[in-house]
Every structure is written in structure tokens, then in C-alpha cells.
Amino acid sequence: MKRAILLIISFLLVIAPAHAQKGGVAILDIDAVARELGVEAAVKASLQKMQDGLNADLKKAQANLQAQMKNVETQAGPNPTKEQQQQLLRANQQLNQEFNRMKAQAQQTLQQERVTQINQFRDKLKPIALAAAKTRGLDVVIMKVTPPIYAYSDGVDITADTTARAVKAGLKEKAPPAAAPAPSSAPSKPTAKPEKAKPNQ
């Protein structure tokens, strides 16, 4: 009887390490995976193209607003009255505010697109990373950068395995075409400002 109990205890000791591994945590350097798959470069290229389009729209809007300001100044004439000077000032402020609103909206659109593309990549990679983790008896995947990881065993790092599986799954991006020269920064607010008119004689 004692021998049977000893055999059972020995059996439990043998399987305990494997069972303890179950439900463990895998570490994934998702930034490294994105670089290896070309996703990082593809996202940058896509956002740059989008920014170029937004900058072109902003330049058109700037030209339109400056034309409106010039029209207001023309209507006021070379010697505007004090009341007209105030109208010119208000018009200039309103046009500047409108341009700043457009610029802020463009920046928000660009940021939203960046978040969308990153989330789409993460969603596609999630089942692949989990599959890589399960081959090691691990059920939870934590990104290496969030939260910061102090120390971990190389045996739980699934970055290379996840990258290889993602390549087989067709997630590797094609090399982007040669990048065009970087565009100038977003145009500044309209520069047209009403000149101080001389008081009527």
C-alpha cells in the first residue's frame, strides 16, 4: 500500500512541472514583429501619403481664406473708418480661427488613422501570437513594451516564432516604393492682416 502511495506521489511530481507551465505568460516584442513584417514602414508610408493630401488641402484653404481677407480689405478701401478697421480686425481673427480649426481637424484625422492601422495589425496578429504561445503551454501574451518587463526567461519570448507564423499567414508587407522628399510642414495660419488705417482728415 505504501509503495502504491509512493508511486502516485512520484507520478504527481513528474507531471507537476508541465502542469505548472500551463496558463503561463508569453512575452512578445510587437514592435520588432512590426519591423520584421514591414508593417511599420507600410504604416509610415501610408500616413505620409495621407499627410501630403491634407497639407495640399490646407494650402488651398489658406489661399481661399487669404482671398476672402483681401476682398474685405478692398471693400473697406484705402482709408477705412474706425468702424471698418474693427470689422477688418474681426474678419481677420475669424479667418485665422477657421484655418486653425481646419489644421487641428487634419491633425486629428491623421492621428485617428494611425491608431486605426495599428489596431488592425494587432487584431490580425493576436490569434497568431496566441498560437505561438500555446505551443509552449502558455495562455497569456504580454507585449514587451507595455507594461515594462523587468526580467523574463528566453523560453517565454515568442517574438521570433510569432514573426515566422505571421509571415506564413501572409502578413508580411511588400517593400514600399522609394520615399519622395519630405513635404514641408503644414502651412501656417493666414498672414493677411489689416493695415492700420490713418484717421480720416
pLDDT value for 176: 60
**Does residue 61 lie in a domain region?**
yes
**Does residue 54 lie in a domain region?**
yes
pLDDT value for 192: 45
Beta bridge partner(s), residue 26: 141
DSSP-assigned letters across all residues of 57-93: HHHHHHHHHHHHHHHHHHHH-SS--HHHHHHHHHHHH
Domain count, the chain: 1
**Does residue 105 lie in a domain region?**
yes
**Does residue 42 lie in a domain region?**
yes
pLDDT value for 174: 83
Give the three cell numbers for residue 114. Answer: 494611425
**Does residue 18 lie in a domain region?**
no
- Mark the ranges of the chain whose per-residue pLDDT is less than 70: 1-23, 146-147, 176-201
User: Which residues 6+ apart lie within 8 Å of 18 measured at CB?
Assistant: 137
**Does residue 151 lie in a domain region?**
yes
Look up the domain containing 144 and give its range: 24-168
What are 90-128's pLDDT values in tens digits?
Answer: 988 999 999 999 999 999 999 999 999 999 999 999 999
CB 132 within 8 A of CB 165: yes
**Does residue 155 lie in a domain region?**
yes
| Residue 78 phi, psi (nearest 5) | -70, -25
**Does residue 183 lie in a domain region?**
no
